[in-house]
Structure 1
Amino acid sequence: MEITFERFEPAQAQELVEFLSGDTWPFHGTAAVDPAQARQWIEEGRYDDEDHRSFWIRRGGERAGLVRLTDLRDPTPLFDLRIRSRHRGRGLGTAAVAWLTAYVFDGFPAVRRIEAATRQDNAAMRRALLRNGYVKEAHHRDAWPTPDGGVRDAVGYAILRRDWLAGTTTVPDWDDEPAAGAG
């Protein structure tokens, strides 16, 4: 089934409110979005302004998800990805990460790298990132609050423009710590 991406238009604000509040998002800071909160986010420009762009993910003509790009004026933008629960586990995340990576690197020449953060237990997102050449660069212990009042570790990934162009990955030098007792 064909997957397409359609730019969010401000005239679709009510549809976005319904999308955000009509499902649960277990790996986001707010798992259940209240419609009033969604409206506020839209009014604040989080989905469409100079620094943000959002795209509906369409599968079979249905809005199956949303990609939101942030910090587009920065050389290191980030993204948020939401897939409706009934469409999860079908490869949409991997396809969306591939699409957004090409979109950003092709359309924003000043971007050097794209970053992503997720909870450690979000295995599907982590696999989607790895399949698209993103490299784990950070592990933050007890950094992601959960809706039940707990915390989880957060992990950070990124892809470098040069790696994307070459089809390679460059892993961080994890052995660069100075000795604890050294002067």
Structure 2
Amino acid sequence: MDTTCVRVEPTHPTHAEHLVDFLSGDTWPFHVADVVTRSQARQWVEDGRYDGPDNRAFWITRAGERAGLVRLTDLREDTPLFDLRIRSQHRGRGLGREALAWLTGHVFTEFPEVRRIEATTRQDNTAMRRALRRSGYVKEAHYRDAWPAADGRVCDAVGYAALRRDWLAGTATLPDWDDEPGAGREGRSPAAG
């Protein structure tokens, strides 16, 4: 596929309008707000969410079309985060995995102080979870009742990360899940001791 990532320049008026159009022109079912209004999107652009010392955004283009958007955040920290949005007509076609491979390489190449990249998504976002695993991200956390959904439900959230050392080695190391004394007591109430 002909997929590229191009830096968004939201200070340019035309680019800002493209961002507003993109964000408000589709639904985002696994984000806290599944619908973004034009005024909300415009406020996000004005607030600097897509460009600045801590933030950068990139169009994900496929065959010349803006098919997605990746926003990197916390870039002055050693563990940045990202937000990935793929237009509905491009979902399920491997674009998320391509974008993850690009953003991981970009962050680890452009920001030598970054040790890890974190991602959090809803438990029921199976496509994103699969893309993360296939891109070398490892599940590190499970947060119960942590993600408010647009329909009023509260979903579990899961946390993944890619480590620089794993990326360089082409591996994915797993956390030590059995490091607590008394492991195996999960599911018991605190009162049960």
TM-score (norm 2): 0.92
Gaps of 5+ in 1: none
Query: What code does the residue aligned with 2:4 have?
Result: T
Query: What code does the residue aligned with 2:99 have?
Result: A
Give CA-to-partner distance per residue, 1:82-123, whole Å, 9 cap, x none: 000000010000000000000000000000000000000101
What corresponds to 2:155 in structure 1?
152
Could you list the structure 1 runs, at least 4 aligned residues long, displaced by more than 4 angstroms after superposition. Answer: none
- After TM superposition, the structure 1 = structure 2 runs for residues 48-127 of structure 1, keeping only pairs within 5 Å, are 48-127=51-130
Percent of paired sites with the same residue:
72
What corresponds to 2:180 in structure 1?
177
**Distance across 1 between alignment mates of 2:89 and 2:135:** 23
Mark the structure with the bigger radius of gyration: 2
Gaps of 5+ in 2: none
Count of matched residue pairs: 181
What corresponds to 1:6 in structure 2?
6
**Distance across 2 between alignment mates of 1:168 and 1:16:** 35
RMSD: 1.1
Give CA-to-partner distance per residue, 1:13-40, whole Å, 9 cap, x none: 1110010000000000110001111111
TM-score (norm 1): 0.97
Query: 1:176 offset after TM fit, Å?
Result: 1.4
